[in-house]
Amino acid sequence: MPINITLPGQSNESQAPAGRVVGIDLGTTNSLVAYVENGKAKIIEGADGKLVPSVVTLDDYGGVVAVGVKARQRSMMDAAHTVYSVKRLMGKSYQDVKKEAGMLSYKLLQADEGLVRIQIGNKLYTPIELSSFVLLELKQRAEEFFGEPVTRAVITVPAYFNDAQRHATKDAGRLAGLDVLRIISEPTAAALAYGLDRKNDGTVAVYDFGGGTFDISILKIKNGIFEVLSTNGDTYLGGDDIDRRLMDLFITQIQHINPGFVPTPEQIQRIRTVAEKAKIDLSTHMKVMIEIDIPEAGIAYRRNLTNEEFKRVAKSVIDRTRKPCEDAIRDAKLDVDDLDEVVLVGGSTRMPMVKELVKDIFKRKPHDELNPDETVALGAAIQADILAGDTKDVLLLDVTALSLGIETMGGMMSTIIPRNTTIPTTATDNYTTFVDDQTGVEINVFQGERDFVKDNRHLASFTLKGIPPLPAGAAKVSVTFLIDADGILHVRAIETHTGIEQTVAVKPSYGLTDEEVERMLRDSITNAPADIAARRLVEAKTEAQRILGATEKVLGQLRRGQLNITAAKLKQINVGAVIDALYALRRAVNSEDPVEITKQQNLLESATEPLAKEIMNASISEALTGKTVEQV
C-alpha cells in the first residue's frame, strides 16, 4: 500500500461502525485472538487449543488446504507446500532474507524490484498474502465463538518493525477482511496485559523474545499514560535461530555417519520438529533423547542432548539480546537502577538461561507470572477495548523505532524525525535547490541511523515538479513527515513561494499497490476446501474471457489500421501466433480444466507481449509529441 502524501494533522483513524473489536497477536511461530469481557481480557480457544500455529499449507493452484495445527502436521508430509515463519519475511527484500533459503522447505524467489516471493506449486505469493490466511483463520475462530461477524481488530507487531513491515501487517489484515483500527507494538501490549497501569507508577522494561523477533522497550507509566521512552531490538532474532543451530548440529552428525546425506524438504521438517521439541523440553529437563528416523535414507539417529550442551549451542543467539537492552536503557537516559520492573514476553523467555541473562542485565528478577505466549494477544484485546470506548482511563504513547529522513546532496541522510520520537508526531524541515534554474526536486525517503543513505533502508521516492527557475538556493522546499498512531509514515513536499505541492503516491519497499491489494481481496479464498475446485475454474474462465476480449479488440483495431504502429514494426510481430493462441484459449475455456485454461492463457499473454510493447511505445510517443521536459 503506498505511502500517501497527507496533510499534517489529518486523521487516519478508522471510522468503523460499532461492533466487536478483537486483539490479534500475529506471531512468527503461533498466533492468537483475544477479547475483553467484563473488564477482563481472554483468549478465544478453538478445537485445537488457544494457539494457532502460523503455518499454512496450499495446493499447486492457490487453494488453502490447511491452516494452524493441521498445517503444521502436514509440514512433515508435504513440506514443499507448507509455509511457516513467514513473519520474518514481512516487508523484506530478497537480499534481506536469502540467507534463509537454504534452511526452508519452501522456495524463495526474487521478484521485481528485488522483492521476496514464496513459490508454492505454480503460484507466487507475497508474505502479506500468506499472513492473511493466518489472520483469516483467527477471524473465523472469533466469529464462530461470538456467533456474529467480526470485522475490526487491533494487530500487534514487534516494536522494531519498520514502516514497510507495519504497512505489510495492515494490508494482511485488510486481505483477511479486517478493518485494522490500530497497529500496536508488542511490548506496549504486554505492559497493558500485565495491568501495569493499575499498579504503581514507574518505569518498566519489557523484554520480548519470540520465535522470530526480539524487542526491548522501556516504558514510563504515570496516571494511566503509557509513554515509550525507547525501543530497540532485532526483527531477525528469535527462537527459530536456536532451532536452526540444533538442526545444523543434528544434520552434521548424521552426515558424519551417513556421508552424502542431503535432507529433502520433508526430512528437514522432521529434523526441525525434533529440534524445536528438544529446545522446549530442555527448559524443564536436564537431558533429552534425540530420535530422528528417516527410513528411506537408512537413518536411525539416536543421542542424548544435555542441558549443558544445549546452552553452548544457544548461548550465542541469546547473548545477542544483551546489547539492544543496554542500548535501550542508554537511549532512555536511564540507569538500570532507575527501572522499577522487568516483564518477560514471548515463548522463548521460558528458557531458564534467558531468565538468567535478563536477571543479569537488569539486576532484578523479571515478571513471568503470565503465559508468555498469550501476553501480547491479551494486551491487544485491551487496546481494542480502549478503541471501542469501553476502557477510558488508559492512553498509549508509542515511539518510532528508527529515524526517518531524506537524502541530501552527496548521499547524506538528513533526519527529520529521530528514532524514539513519541508518536503520533509530525515534523517539518526546509530544503533548497542546488543548481541555477532547477525546476524539480527529487525527494528520497529513508529510514535508519547511518549518516549516508546507502547504509539505510529506502522507503519511497517522488519528484516535486514546477519549481520556478530561480538561482541556486533561492527556492524553498518544505518537507513534512507525519507518523500516525500505527507508526506509518505520510509525506508532503511543497515549494513555499508558489504553493506548488506534490500529491502523487509512492510505495514502500515491500511493493504492494492498492490495486494489488484490492485484487487479492477479491481473489482471497474463504471457502472450505470442497469449494476450491469450483472457485478455481470460475476464476480461470473469468480471467480468460477478459484476456480474450482485450486481445480480440486489439486485433480488430489492427485490422482497421487504428493503431499507430509502423509497417516495419508490424512485420516483426507474429500476428499469426497471436491468433493461434487466441483460438487455443477459446477452446480451453469450453473445457472444465482450470490447469489447461491457465496454461493457454499464459501462452496467449506471451504471444501478445511484443504487440503490447509496440502499442505502449506508440502511445507514449504520441503523448509526448510537442511537450517540453518540464511539462512531462
DSSP 8-state symbol, 16: P
Grid cell of 82 as nine digits: 507448507
Phi-psi region for residue 455, left (φ > 0), alpha (ψ -120 to 50) or beta? Answer: alpha
pLDDT above 80 (res 626) = no
Confirm whether 543 is a catalytic residue: no
Between CA 118 and CA 131 the distance in angstroms is 12
Range with the poorest average pLDDT among 76-80, 143-147, 289-293, 541-545 = 541-545
- For 532, the enclosing helix (H) or strand (E) is helix 529-559
The angle at the Cα of 455, spanning 4 to 112, to the nearest 5 degrees, equals 55
Range with the poorest average pLDDT among 13-17, 501-505, 554-558 = 13-17
pLDDT above 60 (res 623) = no
Between CA 527 and CA 140 the distance in angstroms is 11
pLDDT above 60 (res 530) = no
Instruction: Give the pLDDT of residue 392.
Output: 52
Q: Do the strands 287-294 and 341-345 form a parallel or antiparallel pair, or are they unpaired?
A: unpaired
Range with the poorest average pLDDT among 119-123, 143-147, 561-565, 607-611 = 561-565
**pTM score, two decimals?**
0.64
- pLDDT: is 491 or 11 the higher one? 491
- pLDDT band per the 50, 70, 90 thresholds, residue 12: very low
| pLDDT tens, residue by residue, 480-520 | 888 776 667 778 888 887 787 764 444 454 444 445 445 54
| Distance (Å) of CA 231 to CA 186, 237, 330, 541 | 11, 15, 10, 51
Backbone angles phi, psi at 145, to 5 degrees: -65, -45
- pLDDT: is 147 or 13 the higher one? 147
* Inter-residue contact 597 to 588 (CB < 8 Å): yes
Q: Looking at 129, 208, 241, 484, which residue is catalytic?
A: 208
Backbone angles phi, psi at 183, to 5 degrees: -100, 120
Backbone angles phi, psi at 428, to 5 degrees: -130, 140
Instruction: Give the pLDDT of residue 286.
Output: 94
Instruction: Give the pLDDT of residue 348.
Output: 92
Backbone angles phi, psi at 161, to 5 degrees: -65, 135
Between CA 205 and CA 362 the distance in angstroms is 9
Residue type, 523: D
- pLDDT: is 14 or 385 the higher one? 385
* Inter-residue contact 466 to 497 (CB < 8 Å): no
The mean pLDDT value of the chain amounts to: 81
* Inter-residue contact 5 to 491 (CB < 8 Å): yes
Q: Mean per-residue pLDDT for 135-141? A: 95
Q: Mean per-residue pLDDT for 421-440? A: 79
* Three-state secondary-structure class, residue 511: coil
Q: Mean per-residue pLDDT for 472-478? A: 79
| Residue where the block lists cell 501478445 | 608
Q: Quote the distance between the C-alpha of residue 529 and its chain's center.
A: 26
* Inter-residue contact 133 to 107 (CB < 8 Å): no
* Inter-residue contact 54 to 26 (CB < 8 Å): yes
| pLDDT tens, residue by residue, 330-374 | 999 999 999 998 989 888 999 999 999 999 999 999 988 878 889
Instruction: Give the pLDDT of residue 605.
Output: 84
Greatest C-alpha distance within the chain: 83
Instruction: Give the pLDDT of residue 556.
Output: 80
Instruction: Give the pLDDT of residue 200.
Output: 62
- pLDDT band per the 50, 70, 90 thresholds, residue 617: low
Confirm whether 13 is a catalytic residue: no
pLDDT above 80 (res 232) = yes
Residue type, 26: L
- pLDDT band per the 50, 70, 90 thresholds, residue 472: low
Q: Mean per-residue pLDDT for 372-380? A: 91
Residue type, 17: P
Helices 265-281 and 307-319 cross at an angle (nearest 10°) of 100
Helices 514-523 and 127-146 cross at an angle (nearest 10°) of 50
Q: Looking at 96, 186, 241, 484, which residue is catalytic?
A: 186
Confirm whether 215 is a catalytic residue: no
pLDDT above 70 (res 325) = yes
Between CA 129 and CA 37 the distance in angstroms is 31
Helices 352-362 and 307-319 cross at an angle (nearest 10°) of 40
Q: Mean per-residue pLDDT for 62-78? A: 88
pLDDT above 90 (res 39) = no
* Inter-residue contact 563 to 618 (CB < 8 Å): yes
Q: Mean per-residue pLDDT for 320-329? A: 94
Instruction: Give the pLDDT of residue 396.
Output: 54
pLDDT above 50 (res 120) = yes
Closest CA to 191 of 169, 166, 216: 216
pLDDT above 70 (res 536) = no
Instruction: Give the pLDDT of residue 15.
Output: 39
Confirm whether 495 is a catalytic residue: no
Q: Looking at 50, 59, 87, 240, which residue is catalytic?
A: 87
